[in-house]
Amino acid sequence: MTMGTPAILFGSIALIMLAYTNRFLALAKIIRDIHADYDPEHATLFKNQLPILRQRVRLIQIMQALGVLSFLFCTISMFVLFLHQEIAGKLLFGLSVISMMTSLVFSLWEVLVSTRALDMVLDDFDQKHNN
């Protein structure tokens, strides 16, 4: 295994971390907007969405932490391979891949949770317009 192997993953990790950051910023904006535009008429909808928003924040936090760990393991793997420690380099690269896979599983989970929140809004909209 050469330093080029982890280097291939390096760029992918950077792009996925950017996507995670964008998701976090979008969620933070949603939460701030709900807080700023709080309307007692929609209190039930907001109250029902709060646990989902909290769960999404936690999931994104875990996704980002695992992404950073993947980035760190990948970088250390390249350095260790530079020092001609192939076994340690392979182990660290494996940890990097496992961290990234786990991060992607949490990303999928967050997407599934976020669709539940959207379903609540659509149900609320549907209920108000059918009355």
pLDDT digits (tens, 9 = 90+) for 63-89: 999 999 999 999 999 999 999 999 999
Mean of all residue pLDDT scores within the chain = 88
At residue 2, the 3 state secondary structure works out as coil
Distances, alpha carbon 83 to alpha carbons 2, 69, 86, in Å:
11, 21, 8
Q: Are 99 and 77 in contact (CB under 8 A)?
A: no
Q: Over 90: is that where the pLDDT of 121 sits?
A: no
The pTM of the full predicted model, rounded to 2 decimals, is 0.82
CA distance 34 to 12: 33
CA distance 72 to 95: 10
Q: Over 80: is that where the pLDDT of 44 sits?
A: no
CA distance 92 to 83: 13
Q: What percent of the chain has pLDDT over 90?
A: 54
**Residue range(s) defining the domain that contains residue 96:** 4-130
Q: What is the pLDDT of residue 42?
A: 65
Q: Are 1 and 86 in contact (CB under 8 A)?
A: yes
Q: What percent of the chain has pLDDT over 70?
A: 98
Domain tally for the chain? 1
pLDDT in tens, 45-62: 778 888 989 999 999 999
Cβ-based neighbours of 10, under 8 Å, separated by 6 or more: 71, 74, 75, 78
